[in-house]
Amino acid sequence: MTLHAMMMTSMPYFILMKPNTLEIIQKIWAFRASSKLHVCFTLDAGANVHVLYPKNEKEKVLEFIENELVDFCQKKHYICDRAGYGAVLLNDDALNSTKLEKQ
């Protein structure tokens, strides 16, 4: 939200959010308040909302997305993703194998 505030107050200003972005944010706030689930969001550098929630609340949150948010998505498309396990140190054999595959 800080990035978007900075963009809107710069000269010249830029509004990166779209009306549906604000609708989705308001629906997430209302859902979080009424459901007491640990759902929140972040925004990328455009109009896209990324919904974040713990894995054990996935079923209820996906139901909320399907019932309340999908109509605000372009062509009703959205992407489900999850956090990875972080960086992994590769040994020299793995690095050389990766380099050969790319050649």
Domain boundaries, the chain: 2-102
The pLDDT value recorded for residue 97 is: 61
Over residues 56-73, the mean pLDDT reads 96
Q: What does the mean pLDDT of the chain come to?
A: 86
Q: What are phi and psi of 51, to 5 degrees?
A: -90, 125
The pLDDT value recorded for residue 8 is: 80
Kindly report the pTM of this predicted structure. Answer: 0.73
| The architecture CATH gives domain 2-102 | 2-Layer Sandwich (3.30)
Burial class (CB in 10 A: 0-12, 13-18, 19+), 26: exposed
The pLDDT value recorded for residue 58 is: 96
Dist. CA 22–CA 13, nearest whole Å: 18
